[in-house]
Each structure stands twice: as C-alpha cells, then as structure tokens.
C-alpha cells in the first residue's frame, strides 16, 4: 500500500476504530512529572506539547508551544511489560477432599494496541520474539499476548540526549514488525502524519479512517526528518569488534572503577526493554486448599539472583555490572545472534550514579588497546 496522509481527526478516528475492535489502546501520557504508558481513549490524553530533557541521571519534562503529540522520544519504562508482564500467574491449584486440580488458563484475554512505540522498542520486541518464540520451547503467555497485539510505531525525528539507536542499527526509522508506522510532520503551520502499513489488519483499519494518498514531497519530507535524526544522536557507540574486546577484557581493571560507582540498584534492568530475567515464587493459603505459581521480573544485580547451593555466584558490584554489560554487548550475540542493546538510552537516564554504557564500553576498548 502506498504511504498515506492523515491529520489529527484521522488520528482520533484511528483510536476509535481500534477501540471498536476491542483493543485497549496503550500510549504515552503524563503522570506525576514523567511520561508513562497507560490506556488512552482520546488523543488529547497524549503528551501534546511536551518534550523531555534526558541526560545521565537526568530526566526533566518541559511544556512547550510545540504542537506535536509525539515530541517525547520514549517513556520511562518499556512496552515489553504489555507482552511480558512484571507479574504473571502461571497456574492456580485447588484442592478438596476428593481431588486436586491445576488451572493454567488464569490470564485474562488481553488485546492491546500499542500507540507511539519508538523504533528502538520495536527492535526490542523482535529480540523478545527471538527468545520466547523461535527456540525449542515457546513461552505460552508471551505468545498469546504477541499474537493479539497491534503495534503503531512513531519514527523518531528528534532523539534525546541519551539515545544511540543509530549505533545499534535499531532506529530512528522503524524496521519490519510494525502494523502501522507513522511520522509526525509540523511545517509552516501544517500538522499531519505520514503512515505506511505493515500488515493486512492495518490496511483494513486504515480504510475506516479519513485519509488521502501522501504526495511525493510529503513522503520526502518525512524521510528527511528521519535521516536528520540519525545525525542528532545524543550518544554514539563503536560496536566494531566490541564483543571480542569485551571477552578479552574480562579481568580489565576498569571494572573496579565502575564498581565503585554502581549501587547495584537494578534500575537499568527494570527500564531496559530487552532484559528478561525473572524468578518463580509459589504461594499457598493457610489451609493449603489453594495455591499459585507466579513469575515476576528479577534483576541480575540482585545478590540472590545468582544463588545456588552454598551461596551466590556474583557477590560483588564488580561482577554484577560486568555480567550485565557483557550480556548486552557480547554474550547476547552468542545466545540469540543479536546484540542485547537497542540504544534507547534508558539505562543511562535512570541510573542514579550516572553510569553510561557507551562511556564504559569505550573505556574498556581504550584499556584493551593500551594493555
């Protein structure tokens, strides 16, 4: 399908069409001084006119005269929580005097439309697909949610100070995997959206909203905005031979410097859209008649995460930070044939110690050269 053009009325019509198809539309909205993901019913609930200043350990929300709906690059947390929730009840069990039953159909029939996802987060979901769907064992909960989701990405036209998606080849333009990809354009008083479809269901939905075919100059304007965004990244990361360099630097003394600053709080893992560590907990009531098994997010920064009989494997901040960055930029390749980082920069923004993954990887590279 050719690229199309629609205005604010078309955007609102898109929301209504999704709702009529029984999707819960999830998008960015303002809550207590930050931008979070939540259900929206009207485009007026989007953070229109807002921009975010992001630097290491810095997040500031600003209201401006900018009329755009998607001036925010990305939200505090990732979209992965709608496909791989923080808490998932895997099964419930019930016992009486006659029998014992296990119920595995405990999840609700979730049906989400994710509006405003950035290209880096789309790439993160594709990594989740690789992990949870393409190996010998599939994650049923993830599979059920993934099959029902409708993804509307927004191509980036102005990255934040901690973005480096261009270095990771995960943005600023949406790759494959979206249902609808949108570029917001504001020029000389004109405000419209250029969109392309990526699925049959998206083509069906578009037929029910007001739109027109995009003109060649409008498509070119959208392309130029995205190309320009690639030159405005707040960070860069040289990935050339980085995996091999990290493997050779396992005992590099620079890890000690990071350990002096790292609080092992786990913030970086909680906001990272590609982290997937979990733990399993079982619960019963006092009578023993009912029980349930719950999977919840965990972090490799927790001392107990690597616990085996006799104690934890990674007891120091040195070991835990090294394990995390090695997984993102080295061992993830070996496991899944892809890097474990999409360059969203959330780990930089939300680290209270202002530890910067791009700076640390660069420092390790320099140490390896001089060693």
What are 91-150's pLDDT values in tens digits? 999 988 788 888 887 677 789 999 999 999 999 999 999 999 998 889 999 999 999 999
Domain extent listing, the chain: 4-229, 242-370
- List the alpha helices (DSSP H) in 181-301: 200-206, 216-229, 242-248, 254-261, 267-271
Most confident listed range (167-181, 281-295, 302-316): 167-181
In this prediction, residue 310 has a pLDDT band, given cuts at 50, 70 and 90, of confident
Q: Closest Cα to residue 40, out of 113, 89, 122? A: 113
Question: How buried is residue 309: exposed, middle or buried, by Cβ count under 10 Å (0-12/13-18/19+)?
Answer: exposed
CB within 8 Å of 88: residues ≥ 6 apart: 107, 141, 294, 295, 296
* Integer Cα distance of 175 and 154 in angstroms: 11
Q: How far apart, in whole angstroms, are the C-alpha atoms of residue 342 and residue 304?
A: 27
Q: Is 11 helix (H, G, I), strand (E, B) or coil?
A: helix
Cα(355)–Cα(195) distance, integer angstroms:
37
Asked whether the predicted pLDDT for residue 370 surpasses 90, the reply is no
Query: Would you state the pLDDT for residue 108?
Result: 75
What is the side-by-side strand order in the sheet with 150-154?
34-39, 24-31, 112-117, 150-154, 180-187, 190-197, 4-6, 212-213
By the 8 A CB rule, do 164 and 235 touch?
Answer: yes
pTM listed for this prediction? 0.94
Tokens encoding 307? 């616990």
Mean pLDDT of the chain: 93
Look at residue 194 and tell me whether its pLDDT is greater than 80: yes
Q: Report which of residues 83 and 288 the model is more confident about.
A: 83
d(CA 160, CA 178) in angstroms, rounded, equals 22
């Amino acid at each position: 399908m050719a690229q199309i053009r629609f205005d604010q009325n078309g955007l609102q019509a898109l929301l209504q069409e999704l709702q009529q198809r029984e999707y819960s539309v999830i998008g960015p909205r303002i809550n207590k001084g930050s931008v979070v993901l939540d259900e929206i019913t009207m485009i007026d609930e989007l953070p229109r006119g807002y921009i975010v200043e992001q630097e290491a350990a810095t997040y500031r929300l600003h209201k401006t005269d900018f009329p755009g709906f998607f001036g925010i690059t990305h939200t505090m947390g990732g979209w992965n929580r709608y496909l791989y929730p923080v808490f998932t009840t895997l099964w419930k069990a019930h016992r009486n005097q006659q029998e014992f039953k296990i119920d595995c159909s405990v999840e609700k029939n979730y049906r989400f439309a994710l509006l405003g996802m950035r290209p880096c987060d789309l790439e993160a979901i594709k990594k989740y697909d690789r992990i949870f769907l393409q190996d010998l064992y599939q994650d049923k909960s993830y599979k059920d949610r993934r099959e029902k989701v409708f993804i509307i990405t927004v191509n980036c036209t102005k990255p934040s100070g901690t973005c480096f998606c261009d270095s990771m080849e995960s943005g600023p333009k949406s790759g494959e995997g979206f249902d609808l990809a949108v570029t917001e354009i504001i020029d000389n008083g004109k405000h419209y959206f250029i969109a392309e479809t990526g699925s049959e269901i998206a083509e069906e939905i578009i037929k029910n909203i007001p739109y027109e075919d995009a003109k060649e100059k409008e498509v070119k304007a959208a392309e130029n905005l995205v190309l320009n965004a690639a030159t405005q990244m707040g960070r860069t990361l040289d990935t050339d031979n980085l995996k091999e360099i990290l493997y050779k630097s396992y005992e590099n003394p620079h890890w000690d410097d990071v350990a002096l600053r790292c609080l092992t709080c786990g913030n970086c893992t909680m906001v990272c859209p590609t982290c997937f560590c979990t733990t399993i907990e079982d619960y019963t009531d006092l009578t023993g008649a009912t029980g349930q098994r719950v999977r919840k997010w965990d972090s490799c920064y927790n001392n107990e995460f690597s616990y085996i009989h006799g104690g934890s494997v990674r007891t120091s901040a040195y070991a835990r930070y090294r394990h995390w960055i090695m997984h993102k930029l080295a061992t993830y390749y070996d496991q899944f044939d892809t890097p474990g980082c999409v360059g969203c920069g959330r780990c930089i923004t939300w680290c209270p110690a202002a530890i910067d993954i791009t700076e640390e990887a660069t420092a390790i590279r320099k140490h390896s050269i001089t060693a």
